[in-house]
Structure 1
Amino acid sequence: MQLQDIEPAIRESSRPAAALQAFCETHFDAAPLVVQAAGRINLIGEHTDYNNGFVLPAAIDKAIYLGIIKRNDRQLRFHALDLDDHYTGSLDSLASSPQHWPDYLLGVVQQLQQKGYPIQGFECAFGGNIPQGAGLSSSAALECAVLFALNQLFELNLSKIEMARLAQAAENNFVGVRCGIMDQFASIFGKRQHLIKLDCGSLEHEYIPFRFDDVKLVLLDTQVKHSLASSEYNTRRAECEQGVQLVSRHHPDVSSLRQVTLDMLDAYVKPVNAVTYNRCRYVVEEIQRLQDACTDLINDDLSAFGQRMFTTHEGLDKLYNVSCAELNWLAAMASREAGVLGARMMGGGFGGCTINIVKADAVPGFIAKAGQGYQQQFNVPLKAYVTSIEDGCKVMA
């Protein structure tokens, strides 16, 4: 999971595929391989990934589009279309760029070189329509796009799981963001009309159908990111680790909150530290809540699933303490609307989006009412995105 997307190279474009095609026809001397890599949402299962729990992401219809051709030398040439910016470098001298955005691509190249995969120089151009700063993981989509493209271009025969791991490593080790694997996994493994139940401990996964034609997934973007986000994220990780340590004194086989029960927390954590107890209680409950939510979907009970989303938001606010006034206002407003089945904050917290399951015929009124009320309450415009669940990385025809 990423707390905040560091994605200045990717700005929303209304026709990114067409813009890419026009650029390639003008600037490339050969027909490019063109790939599409999706952004992602996470329906339920927040702050569980770094506790070896489950998450429930999906690839969406907002994506990065990348065109790529081989070169006959060791040079690298990148074009960020939405920034109208360019980078030139070499396979023989990979280093972080002061432009910053090339690092997402350079990190992938570095990982492939370190693993001994044979690649040569290449030129690529990319653009996208993943909203910037909304927590939809455009940075992971860019990493996956270039990795997927290089795998095809140089016939590296990488498996999907190898690509997800390499893309995550690129962000961890070159870009310097300590993200989990969920974002890259969802972008690569995404399947239309399905969620991915991902075990963040083993990386085993299964697809959970999400075929509900009478509802839409609506993201409401607070357009705020409070300064607490990064420091509090690290604090939450430390608090979870402290809870595990307290339990493991009595149960040496316990190494993550995935293995902890509420009875263990009541016995070994609650008497020691009430704050740590609340953090751990939320995670333990959320891991179970996600599994119950998957059962709801298998039983076609979207109303029960939506209620669990509301409960997750309450836990993130009251127990995990990573929400904020803007997110709480949006979630509370959604809970009062008859056309909304479920809503919660999505992502690391302290800003970003709420994700809402809304009856299709109620979407226009819901967005209008939320936008008007939010503007009055916070004097900030509210952005709304209606999205659908689509396939992950693929070569475009």
Structure 2
Amino acid sequence: MGGSAFNSLPSGSFPRIPPPVYKDLKARLSPALDRLYEYVAVPIEDPEKTDHGDLDFIVCTPRNARNLPETETDTDTAVNVPHNQVQVALGAIHSIVEDGARTSNFAVLVERGAWSSSGCSEEEERAREAVESGEIFYQVDVHVCADKDDWDRVVYFHSYGDLGMIQGLVTRNVGLVLGVNGLKYPNPPHPTLILNQDFDRISIFFGWSSERRNAGFTSRQQIFEWVIESRFFDPKSFRTSGQGISRVKAQRTMYSDFVVWVNARSESTDMEEVKHRQERVRKEALIEFGRLEEVENYMREFEARKILKTTFNGSVVKGWTELGNNWRGVKVVMDMVRERHGGEEGLLQIYLLEGEEGLKERVMKAFQESGLSS
């Protein structure tokens, strides 16, 4: 809902914006931001959206930053045009600003009679009647991106309404995560791995035609049909809720419409088949994006570290050396082994190559040389 950022203004100050008014507003304000930023875009709208809560601009690379001496270019200057310049360019009266690669909100006053040129005079009057002062505003959000690559991803993911979130639902079904930062490989409790950030490459992997998407959609039906063209969409195992799938706010009407639409085409879900399918696709994704060896090595080392904790510890070393309750002696031996063999990392490599026997051999050698064996 437009205006949600401006709690200090009266309720109703930010009416829903009719599509013709929204189109004219976008055409009027885009050139103003073009003069400040090298890259400016408004994500393509949901083709069936009946009104708009606000106008979202995605921007990056201030035009004046490239003209500044390197010594005068700090992080904020390189990313943000000064907020007061943006406010003046938009003709905003109020603002809530954020530095860095974040979103700032601007309240732009609707001049009386402004909607008449768009054929929406009656809607404007009704909106003004809902506010005691009669003053109404547009909320204009300016999301600043860190660089051109970030800008490309944000514009892609937020185009066509909830399409990015719907694509994310498809990826969740096969055990992956798609978001504004690209395709990720979740592997809890381990760190999440970013597989790829190029949406064209990701689309090829999933079987989504970028050519068809770039040609444009004229209805939600077309968008939904494009989504299920993915080679990983299977009506026998597709879920719209449950473990691993986040709940989405009810006002996401396009997403909600997709859930209803796809559920009517889905069949009963075999959870065992879902699990096996996720395993297959997750491995395929690692292979496709060249990360399989990295993940396998990481998991092998992770498991080895767990085993190492149960193999190289005071109790085990005490048993090998038969030092009884001489815990100080046990510590001396363990410290000698660590120092000689590169600490925990070195011991891990010994364990990976030679197993428990390799560790025991080093321990017993240190024990003999420590003088504690006599």
**TM tier, smaller:** under 0.3
Q: Compare the two structures and name the one with the higher strand fraction.
A: 1
Give the alignment's TM-score, normalised by structure 1: 0.26
**Larger RCO of the pair (alpha carbons < 8 Å, separation 6+):** 1
